[in-house]
Amino acid sequence: MTISDSLALRQRLESLVVGELKSRLESEHISGDRAKEIAQIFLETVPEDISHDELIAAVNTLDDKAGELAGIVYQILSENDEAIREKEIDKVRNLINLTKK
C-alpha cells in the first residue's frame, strides 16, 4: 500500500468513527463524555502518520478499547482481508497463465 492509500483509509476510518459517534449521540446510546473518550482513544490509537500495516494493527485494537466501534473494526478488517485475498488470487492466476504459455 502506498502512503496515500494509508491516508485515504485512515480518513475513511475517521469518517466512519465520527458518523458512528454522531449516530449514537443522537439516539442517546452514549453520553457526550463517552463520545469524547472514544474520539480520544481513536486519535491516540490511529495517528495521522501511520503506515498501512500499523493502521490495520491499530484498527484491530480499537474495539478492545471502545466496544462501540466493533462494527467499524469488523468492516475495515473484512475489507482488508478481501483485498489481500484478491491480490493472492491474482498472483495464482498469473502463475497459472505463465505455465500455460
Separation between Cα atoms, residue 21 and residue 39, nearest integer Å: 8
DSSP, residue by residue, 47-97: -SS--HHHHHHHHHHHHHH-GGGHHHHHHHHHHHHHHHHHHHHHHHHHHHH
pLDDT of residue 5: 82
pLDDT of residue 2: 65
Structural domain spans, the chain: 3-100
**Cβ atoms within 10 Å, residue 62:** 22
Phi, psi of 23 (to 5 degrees): -65, -45
**pLDDT range class, residue 1, cuts 50, 70, 90:** low
pLDDT of residue 34: 97
Query: 2-58, pLDDT tens digit by residue?
Result: 667 888 999 999 999 999 999 999 999 999 999 999 999 999 999 988 899 999 999
pLDDT of residue 78: 95
